[in-house]
Amino acid sequence: MAGALRVSLNLESSVPAYRQIANDLRRHLVEERLKPGDLLPPIRQLAVDLGVHFNTVALAYRMLAAEGWLELKRRRGAAVIARNAPRAVDRRQVDHLLRQLAHIAAELRSVGMSSRQISLALRRLAQGTRP
């Protein structure tokens, strides 16, 4: 497992803490910095380190387990698993995410970014690099 694998959360953010944790973890998984077989810290340990309730971390782990990224291990945290089988596209979830993206694109245009700049940034994000 590569070094500097971190998860961060901002308690001032309007995004719930469990989502922030899940988002960070998902980013590491998508960018393959977390690979199949890697172990994640036990729920209690990560909760204590982040200073949040155990359920917050448990919820983030469960969310990623439901997405097929993790296998939960009793008292040992979670392990990253291979997502071999192509997953069925959840149309409702995709629509929901695209709607969110549309709002963000509108916000980006309102702060002065051109359509071209937005497309470029999105392409870079999709390729796993920073825009």
Partner 1 sequence: MTSASWSMMLVVSVNAILFHAMPRFSRPDILFAVTVPEAFAAGAGRTLVARYRAIVWSGATAALAIGLLLPAFLPGSGQGGMLVIGPVAGNMMVALAAWLLAHRKARAHAVPFSDVRVASLVPRDTSLPGGTLFAAGPFAILLATAVLVYTYRDDVRAGPITIKPFGPLVFGGVYVAMMLTMAVSLARTTRQIAVDGLAAAAEQRFRRVNVLVLVLTGYAVAVLLSVTTVQSMPAFGDALSGRVWLVPMPIMLFNFGVALWMFRVGQGGQRAVAPAARQEVHGDATPDHAWKVGGLLYFNPRDPAIWVENRVGFGYTLNMGNARAWLLIGMMMLAPMIAARLLF
Judged by the rule CB under 8 A, the positions of this chain that interact with partner 1 are 1, 3-12, 25, 28, 34, 39-42, 44-54, 77
Name the DSSP letter for residue 78.
E
Least spacing, CB of residue 116 vs partner 1, in Å: 33
Least spacing, CB of residue 34 vs partner 1, in Å: 7
Which of 4/89 has CB closer to partner 1? 4
Backbone angles phi, psi at 25, to 5 degrees: -65, -45
Least spacing, CB of residue 109 vs partner 1, in Å: 29
Which of 35/103 has CB closer to partner 1? 35
In angstroms, rounded to a whole number, what is the distance separating the alpha carbons of residues 14 and 20?
Answer: 10
Sign of the C-alpha dihedral computed for residues 116, 119, 125 and 128 taken in this order? negative
